[in-house]
């Protein structure tokens, strides 16, 4: 097959090695959510793997860094966002924007320096997409159990954790409770459901009709 493509034997080996290394970067991507859109937590190197992004179907990359990151595969249709963190711009102030960007389609979140503050953003995505309210500790533990080893911990400052908890509190306050319908329409609906689901009982003739039957039988 390689010869048909015009490749020499040494070029074939080099290509095979490159593909192997490129796909190996996929192993550093940790799945955080699996549906309806998927989120992976990774590092900057993993987002440089063009083949891995294509295989996984990744459409967006959000990077937390101190400066804007190059949009490496933009021509492939990959959308990029950099959350620039500085003394005057904390990650907490950008959590909502990051979550909105990441939950729209299959995405990766990463840090420019390994796995760090990106875990905070991944935890915020879990909070925003969960059907039940979550606190910061629970969300971070869910991310930690996937992203790092059993004996490792996520290195975040108390300020970072406090900002995530504020995000959790805001989402819990804005959550719309599921209410049962009320009013005449709801009562008619419940009555119809009750009739539809009720057991069909044997039909019994009225008492007066039964007495008339007995009288007619006696006369006969």
Residue with tokens 């390994």: 114
User: Residue 75 and residue 95: Cα distance in Å, rounded?
Assistant: 27
Q: How confident is the model over 109-132, as a mean pLDDT?
A: 91
Look at strands 60-65 and 79-84 and give their pairing.
parallel
pLDDT, greater one: 17 or 197: 17
Q: Tell me the per-residue pLDDT of 70-118, one tens digit each, with 9 for 90 and over.
A: 999 999 999 999 999 998 889 999 999 999 999 999 999 999 877 789 9
Q: Return the pLDDT at 141.
A: 93
- Return the HEC string of 59-100: CEEEEEECCCCCCCCHHHCCEEEEEECECCECCHHHHHHHHH
Q: Is the pLDDT reported for residue 126 higher than 60?
A: yes
Asked whether residue 185 is assigned to any structural domain, the reply reads no
Range of the domain at 76: 21-174
- Is residue 49, in this structure, part of any structural domain at all? yes
pLDDT score at 200:
40
Pairing of strands 30-34, 38-43: antiparallel
Which pLDDT score, from 0 to 100, does residue 45 have?
86
**pLDDT of 27:** 76
CATH code: domain of residue 170: 3.90.190.10
pLDDT at residue 108, as a whole number: 97
Measured distance CA(60)–CA(85) in Å, rounded = 19
Q: What is the mean pLDDT of the chain?
A: 79
Whether residue 15 is predicted with pLDDT greater than 70 in this model: the reply is no
Is 70 within a domain?
Answer: yes
| Residue 115 CA from chain centroid, whole number | 19
Residue 188 lies in a domain: no
Asked if residue 104 belongs to a domain, the reply is yes
Q: Give yes or no for residue 36 having a pLDDT over 50.
A: yes
Q: Bridge-partner residues for 34, per DSSP?
A: 38
- Nearest 5°: the CA angle 19, 22, 28 is 145
In a domain, 186, yes or no: no
The stretch 23-52 carries a mean pLDDT of: 86
Q: What is the pTM of this model?
A: 0.72
- Which residues are paired to 83 by β-bridges? 64
Q: Judge whether 212 lies within some domain.
A: no
Report how far residue 216's alpha carbon sits from residue 212's, in angstroms, rounded to the nearest whole number. Answer: 6
In a domain, 48, yes or no: yes
At residue 198, the pLDDT reads 40
Please enumerate in sequence order all residues whose Cβ is within 8 A of that of 162, keeping only pairs 6 or more positions apart, or say none.
92
Check if the beta carbon of residue 55 is closer than 8 Å to that of residue 25. no
What is the total count of domains within the chain? Answer: 1
């Amino acid at each position: 097959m390689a010869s048909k493509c015009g490749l020499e034997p040494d070029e074939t080996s080099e290509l095979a090695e490159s593909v192997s290394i490129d796909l190996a970067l996929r192993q550093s991507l940790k799945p955080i959510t699996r549906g309806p859109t998927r989120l992976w937590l990774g590092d900057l190197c993993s987002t440089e793997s063009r083949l891995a992004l294509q295989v996984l179907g990744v459409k967006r990359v959000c990077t937390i860094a101190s400066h804007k990151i190059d949009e490496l595969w933009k021509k492939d249709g990959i959308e990029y966002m950099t959350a620039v963190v500085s003394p005057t711009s904390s990650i907490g102030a950008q959590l909502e924007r990051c979550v909105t960007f990441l939950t729209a389609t299959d995405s990766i979140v990463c840090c420019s320096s390994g796995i760090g503050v990106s875990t905070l953003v991944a935890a915020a995505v879990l909070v925003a997409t969960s059907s039940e309210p979550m606190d910061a500790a629970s969300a971070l533990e869910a991310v930690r159990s996937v992203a790092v080893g059993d004996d490792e911990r996520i290195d975040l400052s108390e300020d970072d954790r406090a900002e995530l908890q504020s995000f959790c509190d805001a989402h819990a306050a804005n959550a719309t409770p599921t209410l049962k319908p009320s009013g005449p329409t709801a009562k008619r609906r419940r009555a119809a459901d009750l009739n539809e689901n009720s057991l069909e009982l044997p039909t019994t003739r009225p008492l007066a009709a039964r007495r008339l039957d007995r009288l007619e039988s006696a006369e006969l």
